[in-house]
Structure 1
Amino acid sequence: MNTDDLLFLSPVLPVVVLHDAAQAVPVARALHAGGVPVVELTLRTDAALDAIRRVSAEVPDVVIGAGTVVTPDQARAAADAGAAFLVTPGTTDALLDAASDTGLPVLPGVSTVSEAMRLAERGFERLKFFPAEASGGVAALSAIGGPLPNLRFCPTGGITPSSAPRYLTLPNVACVGGSWLTPTNALATRDYARIETLAKEASSLRTEATTAT
């Protein structure tokens, strides 16, 4: 799988934080049942690597990736755990080198034009725009598209179901990242039916954005 294939699996890339690895498989299955066959599971908790291992082994129809990759060691550990792609909130040369060395698709994070240009020089034209809303949101990405038309973004950070379609109408946005598909209260009560419903709604957002234009 290349990065383009990854970004067009779903209009929303779920950004998932799990504190209990036992929830990884039912969450992944609920998202898949709702039409979202991809998960970015963040490395923000001690359960994350085990959660990636479980989804990789037990839910082969879901493309499981590691997010919030901030160190070279995390990039290598996520790859060893079975991650199919890596997402970083920002980039350093050491992190980018280690992530690239895994051979996995990498979605490196940027928040400025200069960062995007530097990564483009290294061959990365598919990028995470983070934190999206705090960095100018739709207006910023629209402006970036003028001088950098070859770049495509997955904006993440502060995006909601109501704001997502506005991002998806932009020609340089392939998908958006969103944490709303797996809300904390749904995870706390193990309400996987709700997660499936939210995934169904998210999977239709690209069509809604196209209709809006």
Structure 2
Amino acid sequence: MSYDVKWIVQRGYSIDAQLIADGLSFDAFDLIERSTDAKTSQKIKNKIVGRLAKEFSSDCLEQGLDVKAIQYGCYCIAVGTGFEVDYNIRSSRIVYVGSGSVYGRIKSHLAGKLFDFASILRSIPLRFYVCDLSGLENGKLLQRSLEQKLLKKFHDEIDTGLPLLNSRNAKISDDCADFDKGWDYPVQKERGAKTTNWLLKPYDTEVWKGAL
């Protein structure tokens, strides 16, 4: 049996832009973290992340997807339009592949190490790929299977390892389900003129391994 996977893509999410909207910057936020108590900086971070997560949820609803209702799903985090990471085999936007309760997981990432990663990227926006498997029988099993297939394809065609922010200890096991054409959309090579203007090359990839 083969399962149909419908991906939606949400583009243009910038923590940097949200900070600027509040009259701040990453440099200003770093100064606040160093000069005030943790509670104060966390309050600012929660406000920024909450607003960004709300925007993400609203954008998904416009495409007919209630991301907050996803119990079993798969998602990919990527750098935005015009940028790709310079991996060992070929470049790709993808920096993380995950599965689970998508909204909660992405919001948790934004409030955690993804915030730090965005601080390095500064004005480079983030992109999210999302699919909902909650309505399928064995959705919990299928989300893990799809995640594994994406990681395997990434390993075979993009890098000899895993996406930049995935743990180097993440296991790639034999997938247990088949999916219809398009299941690998997030890791497909993008085509067309000028899809990428800049390649990003981490000085030390080990710094970010397992960050999320």
Regarding TM over 0.5, the answer is no
Normalising by structure 2, what TM-score? 0.26
